[in-house]
Amino acid sequence: MQILGIETSCDETAVCIIEANGDISDANIKILGNELYSQIAIHAEYGGVYPNLAKREHAKNLVPLLKKCILESKTLSENKVVLSDSKKEEIKKILEKEPELFDQFSSLFGDNIPNIDLISVTNGPGLEPALWVGVSFAKALSKLWGIPILPVNHMEGHIIVSPLEKIDNNEYKLKEINYPAITLLISGGHTQLVKVEKNFSYKIVGNTKDDAVGEAFDKVARILGLPYPGGPQISRLAENERRENPNKVSEYKLTRPMINSKDLNFSFSGIKTAVLYLTKKIPDMTDQIKQDIAKEFEDAVVEVLIKKTSDAVIEFNARTILIGGGVSANKKIRNDFKKLSEDLNVELMIPEVSASTDNAFMIAISGFINKIKGKEPTDEFSANGNLSLEDQA
Ligand code: KG4
Ligand code: ZN
């Protein structure tokens, strides 16, 4: 079946059309069209993501991205949209809070309908104003084309790209997972350990008490005067430090937050504050010192992630570790988790770097998985900024 995925939960506007076949444990997935517009440069000026700015940018870019994606995917059918006055009114109502989007949306009225069997859209978690644009857009498309729609959880999207194996340029296989699996979800908004059982069912077994790990990377980067998003910047400096001073012990020792707590929870707000106080005491902040602090910070965070994931694997007898979310693009995390999986003798599944950060490919696949799990398409849903993985039974 052919699925259109739509993602607008944060600062990436993305649409993707896939062709997916097979069963949950052995699916074949082909990307037919994939378009992404990153707002990073716009938000970088402000040092973080502004929800209303994100919303406006999504509204501006969704229609052009969709048109490009449909052309690229060659999915246009011979069938023209039949638009009655009442249908037009219904679409207008769906988009009543998105006037800018409605203006662009009308340009789709004269087009042909694409050969798509299902639309899947992120309805949470994320920034609610941003989510609403994608959700309203998906509902309006569903109405316009008469194609069913399924809401999906953004975090499930991050999980679902980890068992993908690339078999050709645009072709992937969803590898069979040995359950139970432990997923470490690390993004700008989440730090969670999730137990995953057969058919992608989820139980959250660990969570951050305050900041998410990506958020900590971004905040520490800001303290060090590095641009948004800070994760890749910190990671680059830390790499330099390891290469240039391989045996040096940092002068700026940071604690490993909650590493010895008896649970699977995290806390990253204290370490950010520790970096802030540390930098205030340094009168002359050189590039060398920044590099040293970046490395120490990355070491501290990764050590905690490794320890807690290892504890979870042992506690639940997991046979697989999955890693998902934007922070999984981090090189040290990729290397250290590879070593951990070898030490624990479990399989490691980690997405390719291009699929780690937000994209619509993962949303389309999640739509497919939910469809074959029997979830009923519906347009009776809303955006929910706090949606949890456990909400979708
Ligand atoms: O999953 P994602 O794209 O968006 C959310 O759903 O939040 O994750 C974005 C986060 C940002 O905090 C960014 O700084 C972080 O992922 N990130 C990284 C790296 N690349 C992205 N953090 C550390 N190292 C990286 N290489
Ligand atoms: Zn994300």
Query: Which are the contacts of 299, defined by CB distance < 8 A and separation ≥ 6?
Result: 238, 250, 332
* Among 337, 352, 357, 366, residue to substitute to test ligand 1 (most atoms within 8 Å of Cβ): 357
Q: What is the pLDDT of residues 62-73, one digit of tens each?
A: 999 999 999 999
Instruction: Report the C-alpha gap between 212 and 231 in whole angstroms.
Output: 12
Q: What is the pLDDT of residues 300-347, one digit of tens each?
A: 999 999 999 999 999 999 999 999 999 999 999 999 999 999 999 999
pLDDT at 146 over 90: yes
Is ligand 1 within 6 A of the CB of residue 125? no
Is ligand 1 within 6 A of the CB of residue 270? no
User: Atom 3 (ligand 1): residue with closest C-alpha?
Assistant: 357
Ligand number, closest to the Cα atom of 331: 1
Q: What is the pLDDT of residues 15-58, one digit of tens each?
A: 999 999 999 988 999 999 999 999 998 988 888 888 999 999 99
* Among 10, 38, 217, residue to substitute to test ligand 1 (most atoms within 8 Å of Cβ): 217
Is ligand 1 within 6 A of the CB of residue 333? no
R_g of the chain, CA atoms, integer Å:
22
Q: Locate the ligand 1 atom nearest the alpha carbon of residue 213 and give its number.
A: 12
Is ligand 1 within 6 A of the CB of residue 326? yes
- pLDDT for the residue 393: 46
pLDDT at 74 over 70: yes
Q: Locate the ligand 1 atom nearest the alpha carbon of residue 9 and give its number.
A: 6
Q: How far is the CA of 362 from the centre of ligand 2 (A)?
A: 10
Instruction: Report the C-alpha gap between 61 and 66 in whole angstroms.
Output: 9
Q: Locate the ligand 1 atom nearest the alpha carbon of residue 358 and give its number.
A: 3
For residue 125, say if its preceding peptide bond is cis, omega within 30 degrees of 0.
yes
Is ligand 1 within 6 A of the CB of residue 151? no
Is ligand 1 within 6 A of the CB of residue 231? yes
Q: 392 falls in which pLDDT band (50, 70, 90)? A: low
Percent of residues, the chain, with pLDDT higher than 90: 93
The residues that bridge with 149 in the sheet, in sequence order, are 119
Instruction: Report the C-alpha gap between 243 and 232 in whole angstroms.
Output: 16
CA 360-366-371 angle, 5° bins: 130
User: Atom 22 (ligand 1): residue with closest C-alpha?
Assistant: 231
DSSP-derived secondary structure for 237-273 = HHHHHHHHSTTPPPSS----TTTT-SSS-B--HHHHH
